[in-house]
Each structure stands twice: as C-alpha cells, then as structure tokens.
A and B are shown apart, each in its own frame.
Chain A
Amino acid sequence: MSASLLIAQLLNGLQYGVLLFLLAAGLTLVFGIMSFVNLAHGSLYMLGAYALAVVSGATGSFALGVAAALATGIVVGALLEWAAASRLYRRDHLDHVLATFGLVLFFNELTRMVWGPQPLFVALPEALSGTVELMGFFYPAYRFLIIAVGLAVALGSAWLIHRTRLGMLIRAGSVNPQMVGALGVNIRLLNALLFALGAALAALAGAMAGPILSVQSGMGEPVLITALVVIVIGGIGSVSGAFYAALIVGLTDTLGRTYLPLLMREFASREIASAAGPALASMLIYLLMAVVLALRPQGLFPAHRG
C-alpha cells in the first residue's frame, strides 16, 4: 500500500464522483421539483457518449464532439419532456417508472439498431492523451480534465441556484410549485428548461466518460442506478447534497474495490479474502445507502423545505 497508489485511487474516486454528480444533479432537480422518476436519465448519458463518439470520430475534433453531446442532451431532453414527462407529472410514480422503463428499452434498442452491438471507440486528442506528473507520480491528463469539468459544473450550478433569478425560481418551485405558478411564472416552461438542463448534464457526463469506458448500448443503466443511490444518500431534491454524496459514493466505491480485498487478507485466509473481498466491495455503496436510510430516511443533506 504505497502513497502513490493511494493518491491515484483518491483521484480515481474523485473523478468517478464528479461524473456521478453530473448525472445526479439533473436527476435530483427533476425529482425534487417535478417529483418525476426518470429512469431514462441513463439513456441521455448513453446518447451523449454516442454523440461524442460519432461526431468526434467524423470531424476529428473532441470539442465539437462534446458540443454535439450537449446539443443532443438538450434536444432529446426537451423532446422527452414535451412528449412524455410533461404529461405524467400529475400522475403517480408508478406511471413514471413504467413510461421511462419503456423509453430505456427503446433507446437501448435504437442505438443497437443504428450503431450495432459492438462498442464504439473514442480517440482522445493528442493534448489530452498524455499524463501529468504530480509530486513524482503520473496520472492521466484526461482524468484531470474530467475532475476539472465536474468541479466547474458544480460551482456553476451552485451559482445558478443561489445567485440568479432562475435559481430563485428553481428553489421556490421545489418548495411550492403551485404557488410559483400562481404568482405568474410560466411553470411549464421552467420545468421544460430544467429537464433539458439536466439532460444536457447527463449527456455531458456520458461524453466525458466515453473515452474511458466503452460506448455501447445499455451503458447508461449501471451508472444511472449508482446515481440514484447518490441522490438518495444526498437527500432528494438537493443539488449540493448530490455533490457531496457523489464524492462520498465515488470515493467509497473506488477505495473499497482497491483496499477491501487487501484489508480482508489481513484478517482472513487468502481464499476467503479473494472470494469475499470483491463481492463485499461491489455491495459497499448499497450497504452505505441502506445504513444512511436506516438512520436518516431523508438523506444526509436534505433540501430545506417550507
């Protein structure tokens, strides 16, 4: 257990955490304000990754690819909001689950239809494919970029929510949407805007993850479920809660996978450790969630409500 391994794993955890935050931010806003369960959020992540792979593959420009991913997120998000979500806000959660489950099947098959079952490969631009030296050890530059983008989005969303008029409406909407509507705010437009914004963030997360994961059909679901764990731990509807919880979950998962098997070898025989270690590590974040919920059902950092 060297120090450089620990630093590398901490950075990996941070990078995973900010990716989770990008996904969880949109999810928690849509949950908190529209009270809408969106399982198709992972599909937007997947579409973002595909948009990056296709556009950057065709043009050779990584930046254009990311722009395409953002545009895809906004357009598909707005379309989804108009065609499905906005018709379901007033219904109960079961209808949301059902509708978005159908959408997940549809989008997964759609990408398989267009791009086939094989994963797509995304080439990194020259400038980002190197490593950065940090106190004597090397870490991939691209992963630093992911961390930077994630932190920038976190700061940007904090500014948006606490310092702008739109943010004020978002906060008001999460407390009492009817009252906001009664005061003459176009709540439908606000909802659509938020939904599209969340979708764009999900697509951005997919685009950022594209080069380090394989871009393929169904890639959105595992990360969606982890993002759901994040928002439950963080407190539904709270963006800052989602940020802290995303970092907690990212670090717990990454460090757990590395150190838990090592740690268990100290206590148990090699055979038991190598069998139970990975099993326990993969369950760790779910155990964390269960513990949080058993002690604090409203989450660790719940949104303040009137």
Chain B
Amino acid sequence: MTTIRPSTLIPLLLLAALAVLPFAAESYYTAFFARVLIYAVAASALNLALGMGGMVSLGHALFLGLGMYSVALPAHFGIDDGWLQLALCVAACGLVGLVTGAISLRTSGIAFIMITLAFAQMGYFLVVSLKQFGGDDGLPIAGASRFFGLELASAEAVYGAAFCLLLALTAWVARLRVSPFGMTLRAGRQNARRVASVGLALPRYQLAAYVLSAVLCGLAGMLLANLNAYASPSSMSWMVSGELIVMVVLGGMGSVFGPLLGALAFLGIEELLKGLTEHWMAIFGLLILAVALLGKSGIAGLLARLDARVPARRSPRLAEGRA
C-alpha cells in the first residue's frame, strides 16, 4: 500500500469534484466548466508536443479551428452524423499535422516557433477569405453532432463528453510519459544529440507526437464547436495558440495533470478579472509576464514541492515514474 502524494491527490480530488459538478451547479457554471474541460483537452494535446517533446508550437489553434470546422462544414450541408465529422476531423488534422509537422521539424528553435505560427495564420486567412462559409463572421451550427443516440446539443452533454475524453487522455498520458515512446520524446527535449547518438530516430518520434497532438487538439475543437454552436476563424487566431501555451506552462510542462490545472487557472483567473474590470486583459498580460519571469515549474511544480513536505514512504515504482 503506497501513500498518495499531494501532487496526485489534489488533482484527483479536483477531477472527482468536476465529475459531480453538472449535477449540482447551474447551467451557466456547467457551460463554463465545459469550456475549462475542452481547453484542458486542447492543452493536454499541446502538452504532448510542447511539454514532452519540447516542440514550441505557436500554431495549435489551427487544429482547434480545423476541429471546429469539421463540425461546422458538414452541419452547414445538413450532415450531423458525429462519426462522419469525427472521421473528417481526424483525417484533416492528421494530414495537416503530418505535412506542417514534417516541414516545421526541419527547423528548430526560433524558426520552428515561427513556422508553426505561419501555418496557423495560413489556415486563419484561408477561412477568413472563404466568404461562402461565413468568412470573418464565422459559421453558426444548426444541428449538434450526433453519435448514435447521443446528441451534443446541451452544455451538459458536451460537458460529459469532454470530461470522459479528458479522463481517458490524462490516464493515457500518464502511461505514455513512462513508455519508451514518451521517454524518447522527453530525452530528446533535454538533449537531442545524445538521443540521436543512442541510435533513435528522434525526428520520427517528434513527428508522431506532433500529429497525435494535432488530432487530439482537433477533438477539443469538435467539442468546442458543439458547445458554442458556432465556429469562427477567431478561434484559429494566433492569440488562441498563445493562450494554449500559457495554459500548458501555467499548469506545469510535461506533467500529467498540468493541462487541467493550467486550463482551470487560466480561465478561472480570466473569469475573475472580467468581473473586476473591463480592462482585465492588461492585468492578465502582466500576470503572464510574471509567470514567465518567475520560471516554469507551474502549478504541478508547486504541488510537487508540497510532496517534499509530506513524509511518505516512496515506492520505487512511483519514483521511477517521476524520472
């Protein structure tokens, strides 16, 4: 019997609270927390590329947007079959992720940041200029996605779907981190040359992580489109990509629960500041600057510091998992 440490216990309690929330809260809060969960999924997706792989993508809003439009475009033509939309989303994000990833990964450092940003802008301007699909104004979604009997029409339904997806994703990421694939990625983040000299084809691992991350981000986009009943190019703007990065870093790069903690903190602070002042963004901007200046262990890092204070018998298996 091992003791559960605070860095695991607190996020688990949070998840438990989120599981019962829609049964207790008003629908406004359900919609708000549904947004938190969706962004947590998107941040989890980015965490694969950024947190584990060290690929600073400033263009993940592209995949969020692709996910949204793979709901909105079929719906525009009266197709509300969720499975079809899902297939479209996976195909679109996978293909775009593969092509942009393959080109972007030829570079590194600053150039990588900029190329991912430029690809996202390309998508943004493409959607803006497609006037027959709403262009700048976006595309309203009349019929929600339908998966067999389940229709993602209400905030509660989207909440449920987002919660299940996040739970599965978090559990999967926890395993992935310590799998050979995850280990290779994380090692590559620390020292790419050394990984290559061991004989591992790091670029292939990175590309795989990038494509996975793109597809998962698209799934978050599908949910977001259903929650808003609306798809707009503004969700593809580079500001959204920046926000996703802030969420990942705020939560704790590469950690299992970081994306959830980051999305919750980001949207929670945003909501609080919006209540205080119309010019909340000025304060928020300075907060982000402070986070960057102070360093980036994030909330997960703070919780991990709590662990050190709690005397616990550390099992060797958990210790290995933290490596």
Contact = CB atoms under 8 A, between A and B. Distances in A.
B293 A84 contact: yes
Given A102-B285, A109-B285, A110-B282, A95 B111 contact: no
Contacts of B164: none
Contacts of B289: 84, 99, 102-103, 106
13 contacts: A93-B110, A94-B245, A101-B242, A101-B246, A102-B246, A104-B242, A105-B284, A105-B285, A108-B281, A282-B125, A283-B125, A286-B125, A294-B103
A232 interface: yes
B50 interface: yes
A95 B288 contact: no
Contacts of B14: none
B92 interface: no
A225 B293 contact: no
A94 B110 contact: no
A293 B111 contact: yes
Nearest to A228: B114
Interface in B150-190: none
Interface string B286-321: 111111110010000000000000000000000000
Contacts of B115: 232, 289-290, 293
Given A94-B296, A236-B110, A282-B129, 9 more contacts: A84-B293, A88-B293, A94-B245, A97-B245, A98-B246, A98-B291, A109-B285, A221-B238, A225-B121
B117 A225 contact: yes
A127 interface: no
Interface of B: 50, 56, 58, 103-104, 106-107, 109-111, 113-115, 117-119, 121-122, 125-126, 128-132, 238-239, 242, 245-246, 249, 253, 279-282, 284-293, 296
Nearest to A95: B292
Chain A interface main SS type: helix
Interface of A: 31, 35, 37, 39, 84, 87-88, 93-99, 101-110, 112-113, 221, 225, 228-229, 231-232, 236, 275, 278-279, 281-283, 286-287, 289-290, 293-294, 297
A282 B110 CA distance: 24
B281 A105 contact: yes
Nearest to B282: A109
Given A221-B238, A286-B121, A287-B122, A31 B110 contact: yes
Please list the 8 inter-chain residue pairs (A to B) with the smallest Cβ-Cβ separation, ordered nearest first.
A102-B288, A106-B285, A105-B285, A99-B292, A102-B289, A109-B282, A286-B122, A98-B292
Contacts of B280: 109
A111 B175 CA distance: 46
Contacts of B114: 228-229, 231-232
Given A106-B282, A289-B118, A297 B246 contact: no
Contacts of A112: 279
A290 B286 contact: no
Nearest to B242: A101
Contacts of B284: 102, 105
A105 B288 contact: yes
Contacts of B128: 282
Nearest to B99: A290
B104 to A, nearest CB: 8
B285 A293 contact: no
Interface centre among A95, A104, A105, A109 (most CB of B within 10 A): A105
Interface centre among B284, B287, B290, B292 (most CB of A within 10 A): B292
A39 B238 CA distance: 11
Contact of B245 (A84, A98, A103, A109): A98
B292 A88 contact: yes
Contact of B242 (A97, A107, A108, A287): A97
Interface centre among A98, A232, A275 (most CB of B within 10 A): A98
B249 A104 contact: no
Contact of A228 (B117, B119, B287): B117
A99 B56 contact: no
Contacts of A99: 288-289, 292-293
Given A102-B288, A106-B282, A97 B58 contact: yes
A237 to B, nearest CB: 10
B106 A101 contact: no
A84 B292 CA distance: 9
B292 A102 contact: yes
A216 to B, nearest CB: 15
B281 A297 contact: no
B28 to A, nearest CB: 25
Contacts of A101: 242, 245-246, 288
A110 B282 CA distance: 6
Nearest to A237: B110
Nearest to A105: B285
Contacts of B279: 109, 112-113
A225 B249 contact: no
Contacts of A283: 122, 125-126
B287 A293 contact: no
Contacts of A98: 245-246, 249, 288, 291-292, 296
Given A101-B242, A103-B289, A278-B129, A228 B281 contact: no
